[in-house]
Amino acid sequence: MHKLTFSDNLQPLPDSECSERSGHPLELIAFFRRFKPSVLRNLVYTFIWDLGFVVVFSALTLLYEPQASIGRVLWVNLLIANCIGYLIHGGFALGNTVLGPWIRRQGFAVHSAYYAAVTVVGVFGGYWLGFTLLHWNEARGYVFSPQGATQVLVLSLIISSILASIFLARERQARAEAAFQRERARVEVAEHQFHLAQLKLLEAQIEPHFLYNTLANVISLVDSDPAAAKRMVGRLIDYLRHAALASGPAEATVGRQIELLRAYLDLMALRTDARLSYRVDMAPDIAALSLPPMLLQPLVENAIKHGLEPKVAGGLVCVAARRENSTLVLSVADNGLGFRITRGDASGGLGLANLRGRLETLYGARARLTIEDTQPGTKVTLSIPIDAAA
């Protein structure tokens, strides 16, 4: 009598809230979790899973019937194993589609009953189909006899119970992992909002500091050089107008940031008695690109403070904004004495250390800041993806 073979393709219910895995039994092995779930992948996995049963039951058949043909035994077990395996595969695919949301809300008893029912139906149906294809009418009749049915039923229930326990444990683990990921995402969002609030505070602190210094310069010039004081007040008004636009509801763009920077540099040139000169180059096609405020001004402040103010003759600051393929490139260069930024230097609260932190908050690893020693002077370059800046 041909030894009864068995194959099982028990699949746990997929839970989209817990994992992207399909729940295929082979995913118990880490290697098989590397591949993205798909219909074709799961069909291949079922064939591989069935091969394991083919090997086991072929070995048992040859152990009890050593005179049997190895090729014949392998073929018979391969056919029956795949009939059973793919029927169970289809049963779970259909059941998960129709009953999946309801089943996932049930407890262990309902899950176990569901797994056992699909497995038992698939095993009996697989034997019937396999023996029919082999034209083994006697074997097919034995499967549905009291003795054969009892053997198949007991074996099906044992295996389905074991796998159900494994998969339910995996579902609990997946839910725990999903809860952890949700909590981590919540914390990351909170941290992101905290950093943004800090940046807003830093931006708010710049205006009073700059305003006080400029007004102090105006007061010092009122008596000695009224014309210079008047020009400084005029440029201060222009600067504050652009600053109000940059912080208002309107979208901050590269063009608006450049205009704000021009007004700032004009004021600094007046405050330094023309020791400072500057040049701004902006490609026309990038003026409408959005750009968060206060990315360029800290670089200009550092160039003036560390590079040009210590230089008796002053110098030149060059600001450039251009597009390189999908990257927005912003640079600030000076021909001063150069500067060294030490860790923790905030340059009045908005040095390169804070700028790096802001870039990390806004863009992660997608933005890049580089510093070059140009001898004389220094060049600092920001590279931001266009899709992030736009």
pLDDT in tens, 196-206: 565 555 555 45
- The pTM (predicted TM-score) of the whole model is 0.46
Query: What would the mean pLDDT of 244-256 be, rounded to a whole number?
Result: 66
| 145 Rama class: left (phi>0) / alpha (psi -120 to 50) / beta | beta
3-state helix, strand, coil in the chain (%, to 5): 65, 10, 25
Per-position b or e across 126-140, b if 16+ CB within 10 A of its CB: bbbbbbeebebeebb
Contact 206, 239 (CB under 8 A): no
Q: How far apart are CA 303 and CA 314, in angstroms?
A: 11
* Chain segment 11-43, per-residue pLDDT in tens: 443 444 334 455 677 777 778 888 888 889 989
* pLDDT score for 200: 58
* Residue ranges of domains in the chain, CATH in brackets: 25-185 (no CATH), 225-389 (3.30.565.10)
Q: From residue 71, how far is each of 1, 59, 62, 109 by CA, in Å?
A: 17, 12, 11, 42
Taking all residues of the chain, what is their mean pLDDT, rounded to a whole number? 77
Q: Which amino acid, 24?
A: H
Q: Rounded distance, CA 378 to CA 385, Å?
A: 23
The CA-based dihedral angle spanning residues 202, 207, 210, 216, taken in that order and rounded to the nearest 10 degrees: -140
Q: In this predicted structure, what is the pLDDT of residue 347?
A: 42
Q: How far is CA 385 from CA 205, 289, 296, 364, in A?
A: 28, 11, 16, 11
Tens digit of each residue's pLDDT (9 = 90 or more) over 149-161 = 888 888 777 767 7
The span from the CA of 328 to the CA of 83, in Å, is 59
> How confident is residue 75, by pLDDT bands cut at 50, 70 and 90?
very high
Q: What percent of the chain has pLDDT over 90?
A: 9
DSSP β-ladder status, 327-334 and 378-385 = antiparallel
Calpha distance 359→389 (Å, rounded): 11
